Every structure is written in structure tokens, then in C-alpha cells.
Structure 1
């Protein structure tokens, strides 16, 4: 009897370490990975490539890592966050010094024949560091708000000069989402992004810039502690950003300029920068309501769409699975985001909650931009569709992020919801 009770106790203790894991969240990410492999295989069917099974292999490795992380206490990251931050920046510097280049960007480090993209893993490093900083001092004061921005600015700049515009935008989305969750004044967040809006409006339609400047000045007046100086300073900063827009525009590569403007009218360069978007629209439109069927899409199977197994995987989904398939994918991502919000709300403290919101911000931004660029509502920025697009570093990063969130869920207080 004693031996049976000991065995029973051991089994209960083994089960207990998994009791609070959000299995639905984990199942959704695994399902998206499997689905991604199926669509990658379809996109490469006539090319003889094997990226689809590599996608599944890396996904299996990522799942194992996520399960391991989910059993580890995420609070331990608080003690290591500065080391993680330092390693993140060192890896990004290493890319600039010894990294491999492709398509005008230097983003990869080759280790044993495996190309690693440090900027992908840097997303997790930034989340951990920001969550640790905002855990102790929320962003409700300007000094804490400025400190969080200063910490994020270093890896963001290192990614931007690679150049990797897409990932630098993801950094911005993560930062804004976490600052908002950390009680930052919404007016400060608007002032933070206002120079970007001004740079666009100033160079596109000047009268709209004047209206925007008035709005920014009013926001600064009501949200900053020094109303008059803040309002004047905000207007001057937005005016200066319009002129600086010309300078930053000159720093961008030609292919980056094409990606930023050709989505508005891809017919200006139908055989060049606008080709991706034109073919993507044709593919998605041809899919209709039910789609042409798996492995049956003409645009997909005849390889009209470049990079259709990575950045433009949603085009293959639209053509072969139609509106219903696209809607199903969006609903799955909605379910994933809902689970992340639940975990953030039920975390036992700010650190875990901020980690969950950081992952949520990353996923939401990537999904919106990736799908938006395939249908012509956003510039082509090279941002993959999480768990579906082929990309080994991105897939591992996503599973690591989910593993951290699962650890937050696993070690929260026992709650019923």
C-alpha cells in the first residue's frame, strides 16, 4: 500500500507541473505549423524543394523547446534580463561584422551550415528586458517612459542599419503594446509615433500636415506636464520630421523604397517592384469563395508569385482555399490572441502579464502587416505570417515566445475562467 501511494504521489507531482499550461494555445500554434507545412509543400510542389518537411522539423524542435520553457519558472528571467539584453545586442553587432548578405541586407550568421537570423531572436530579448524594466517601474511617469524607449532604441537601431525595416517595425509594435499595458499615457504614445505620420503627410499633402500638427499640439498640451512648452516642442518636432523624412528616405535602399510606395499603385512598375503585389492580388481573387483546391492553384503551381512559401504564403492560401480558408486562418489567429489576452489578465504579477502582451503585440502586428501586404493594404516589408510562412529562425522565435507565455500560464495562481 505504501509503495502504491508513493507511485501515486509521483504521478500527481508530474502532472501538477503541467496543470496550468494553456493546452489550447499550444494546440493552435502546432496546428498552424502543420498547416503551414501543407501550404509550403503546395507552393513548392513543382520546384522539387523540401522546405515543407524542414518547416515541420524545426516546428517539432520549437515545440520541444516551448514545452521545456513552460516547465521552467519565468520569474528567473528577471535575474538574467540584463545578460539577455547584452547578448541580444552583441548578436546584432556580430551580424554587421561577420554576417551574410542577401537582397541588399546583412541579416544572417552561418553556424554549422545553419543560417541564424539574430534579429528574430532579438524580439524575445527586447520583450524580456522591457517587461523586467516596466515590472518595477511602470510607464506612468515620463522618466520611466523615456528609460524604456532608450533601452529599446539600441537593438532597434542595430536592426534598422542591417537594414531590416520589417523587423524594426515589429520592435516598434512590441514597444508600443507593452508601454500601453504598463499604464503609459495614450497621448505620449501618439506623440511618439507622430513624427512618422508627419514625415508622410508633409511630403504627400501639406494641408493635411497642418491639421495633424494642430492635433499633436493639443495632445501635447493636455498630456505633458509643461503644457505650453510641450505643445510648442511637439509642433516643432513634427515640422522638423517632415524635413528629416527626405534625409531618411535617402538612406533607404532602392528595393525598400519600392516596397513602401508601390503598394499604392503597383502598375507603375508591373514587372519590377509591383510584380509581387499584382500576382498576389490575382491569386487571391482567383480563389473565389471556396478556392481552387489544394495543389490546384494556377498562380501558385506555376510559380507566378516570388517568395510564395515565405512572405506571400497567404496568397497561396487565398487561391487554393478561397475566402473560407482565409477566414478560417484569421479565426485561428483570433483564438490565439484571445488566449494570450486571458493569460495576460490572469498573470500573478506585472512581469508575466507584460511578457504575454509583448508576444501578443508581436503576433498581431505581423499578421496584420503580412496579410495586408498580400492584398495591397500595406507596403511589402518582408514580415512572415507567424507559424505558417517558411523561416527557421522566425519559427523557433515564435515557439520560444509561446513557451515563455506558457510558463506564465503554468505558474499563475489557480484560477477558473
Structure 2
């Protein structure tokens, strides 16, 4: 067999081994997301084509990251998790010191023409770190449990200082899901829940910024400030409701085209999609996300090692929260937190994080076949 034949056989073997169910779901969601982004950015100065093309490039780079991370033997990452954690903390500290400020928040490091958002990397690093930590530890021990809380509290605190409450909540949810999957006693969860409730007055008084408090208040009733903090939610709900069953048509959404809808290409992109395509296609998006999440749970259930299982659970948890919170936020069912919608919202760092994470899930699946 010649070199060309061996290369062809290796390629065919690689293609046969891919999880085509996950790739099909990701492909459809990505295509719908690009359609929504193209329409959402059309009203931008210059037509917004540069936003669409930039995101298209990020999708290409993201798929390369997916392929590369899927080829990594996930067990090798156990010993590298500590290094990844230190790098994450260092990058988050650099953001506070030298980050680019936009909209009152410092969340990005400028690397020439590219802006890196280190807090997004935490969504893949923390599942790795927590999975490695819990693999050979027992959550029934208070020392280990406290140490795991500290592992998440450090990066979450740095993220809160940016400030970015949404990402800090994602970190906390990752910890909750991974620790629950590891078998934390229910009584500990009850104590943590009670402690969280007891700390709410302190958080409200000393931690939350004024704009974050306003977001919570307008979640309860957006019309208490219809031209201020409640404006975003009201316009997003109008967009979703005006789409009807089949929408107004591609590029025909008035809320985004007439610039009533804030942040149409990031936080509120689902509102753009719902207005232009309607209820049934929007329901299809929900079903596709649901199937993708089920696929991740299937991989976690079939994982041959504890590290792989907990890693996939951590990735599942951040995708679940982002999907649920973003869509609920656009309909006024959850407070506005700035959490983006995977595959839809504009942003290179977020997209690379999602594709890297799914690549690691594929690595775990390959190890279980």
C-alpha cells in the first residue's frame, strides 16, 4: 500500500469515526445562526457585511478547533488542568489591568486585530479543572467541597470585577452541575441554597451594580422604566410576538431594521430570528438545542472514566444555561444578564469556546466506543 493509499485510508477512518449526529445538529444551528446574524447586522453602518464575514471566519476557525480538540486524548488533560487554571486566572487579571473598556465593562484583551475575551475560556477550563479535581475526591468531605467552591470563586470574583454577572453565574452553574453529578449529598445542596438566599441582601447592597439592580427590577415589571432599563426587554418581546407563526420574512424584521431592538447581533439575536421566521422555526431551534443537549448527556452516560463523564457534564451545563437564559431573557422570562446564544450571537471567543468544548466531548465519545 502506497503513501497515498494510506493517507486516504486514514482520512476515511477519521471521517467514519466522527459523530455525525452532533455535527448535523451543530451544522443546522450554525446555518440558522448565520442567517439571523446577517439580518441583524444589516442595519449597521456600511451594511454590516463585515460583521457577517468576520463571524463566518470564526465559524471556520472554530471547526478547526473542534477537529483538533477532538483528536486530543482527554485523559491527558487531567495533568494539564492545573496549568490551564493558572493561565485562566492570569488572563482574567490582565483584563482588569489592561483590558479594553466597552459599555462600562472591561472584558477584552486587544491582540492586534483580534479581541480575546478570557472569561469565555473559563467555560471550558472550569469543567476540565472540576472534573480533574473531583475524579478521585469525595464531595461528602467538607474540606474537598470547600476547596472546589474556592476553585470557582476565584475566577468568578475576577469576572464580577469586570463586571460580568452573567458569566459568573455560568461558572457557578458549572460547579453545581459537576458537583451534583459527582454525588454531593442533598443536605449540602440545601445548606448552600439556604446560604445563598441568606446572602441575597448582602449581594444587593454591596456587590450588584446599579444597572444590574435595575435589570432585576425591570424583569419583575419592565414598564416601571419603559424608556430606560426596561426598554430592551419590551422591544425584544415586541419582536418575538410580532413574528406570529411564520414570521415577517427574512430581512423584513422592523424591530431590528428600524433599530428599536438593542444589541440585535448579540444578546437579543433570538428576537431577530423569531420576528423574521416566526414561532414554528423558533420552536425548531429550541428542539435542535434540546437534541444537542441530549446528545451530550448520552456521551456523559457512556463515558468509561469519571473524568470524561464530569467533563462532559460541565460542558453540558454551560450550554444549557446559556441556551435557556438567553431565550428566556428575550421573552421577559429571565433577567437580562448579557449571556449570549451559542451559534447565533456574534463573538469569536464565545464561538471558539463552544467548538473546543464540543471537540472535547467528541474526544470522550471516541474513548468510549
TM-score normalised per structure 2: 0.94
Query: Contact 1:140 / 1:185 at 8 angstroms: preserved in 2?
Result: yes
Deviation at 1:408, TM superposition (A): 0.8
Query: Contact 1:22 / 1:406 at 8 angstroms: preserved in 2?
Result: yes
Counterpart-to-counterpart distance in 1, 2:320 and 2:105: 25
Aligned match of 2:211: 255
Does 2:206 correspond to 1:244? no
Aligned match of 2:347: 391
CA offset digits 1:79-98 (Å, max 9, x no partner)? 21111110010000000111
Aligned match of 1:323: 279
Question: Alignment partner for residue 22 of structure 2, among 20, 25, 33?
Answer: 25
SS at 1:263's partner residue? helix
Aligned match of 1:114: 114
After superposition, residues 121-136 of structure 1 pair within 5 angstroms as 121-136=121-136
Deviation at 1:12, TM superposition (A): 4.3
Counterpart-to-counterpart distance in 2, 1:103 and 1:33: 27
Aligned match of 1:356: 312
Aligned match of 1:41: 38
Counterpart-to-counterpart distance in 2, 1:126 and 1:369: 20
Deviation at 1:162, TM superposition (A): 1.3
Query: Contact 1:131 / 1:178 at 8 angstroms: preserved in 2?
Result: yes
Counterpart-to-counterpart distance in 2, 1:256 and 1:243: 14
CA offset digits 1:172-191 (Å, max 9, x no partner)? 11111101111112332232
> What do you get for the CA RMSD once the two structures are aligned?
1.7
Counterpart-to-counterpart distance in 1, 2:283 and 2:324: 13
After superposition, residues 113-192 of structure 1 pair within 5 angstroms as 113-192=113-192
CA offset digits 1:42-66 (Å, max 9, x no partner)? 1122321121221111011000111
Query: Contact 1:58 / 1:395 at 8 angstroms: preserved in 2?
Result: yes
Deviation at 1:256, TM superposition (A): 1.6
Aligned match of 2:60: 60
Query: Contact 1:347 / 1:408 at 8 angstroms: preserved in 2?
Result: yes
CA offset digits 1:181-236 (Å, max 9, x no partner)? 1111233223223333x3xxxxxxxxxxxxxxxxxxxxxxxxxxxxxxxxxxxxxx
SS at 2:234's partner residue? helix
Structure 1 residues 243 and 321, CA gap change in structure 2 (3 angstroms): closer
Q: Give structure 2 stretches of 5+ with no counterpart.
A: none
Counterpart-to-counterpart distance in 2, 1:267 and 1:392: 34
Question: Alignment partner for residue 377 of structure 1, among 325, 333, 342?
Answer: 333
Query: Contact 2:123 / 2:315 at 8 angstroms: preserved in 1?
Result: no
SS at 1:411's partner residue? helix
Counterpart-to-counterpart distance in 2, 1:259 and 1:286: 23
Deviating more after overlay: 251-260 vs 296-305: 251-260
Aligned match of 1:314: 270
Does 2:353 correspond to 1:401? no
Query: Contact 1:315 / 1:374 at 8 angstroms: preserved in 2?
Result: yes
Give the paired residue count: 366
Deviation at 1:15, TM superposition (A): 3.9
Structure 1 residues 153 and 242, CA gap change in structure 2 (3 angstroms): closer
Structure 1 residues 30 and 326, CA gap change in structure 2 (3 angstroms): same
Q: Give structure 1 stretches of 5+ with no counterpart.
A: 199-237
CA offset digits 1:88-119 (Å, max 9, x no partner)? 10000000111111122111100012111100
TM-score normalised per structure 1: 0.84
Structure 1 residues 273 and 95, CA gap change in structure 2 (3 angstroms): same
Q: Which has the larger radius of gyration?
A: 1
Question: Alignment partner for residue 335 of structure 1, among 252, 267, 291?
Answer: 291
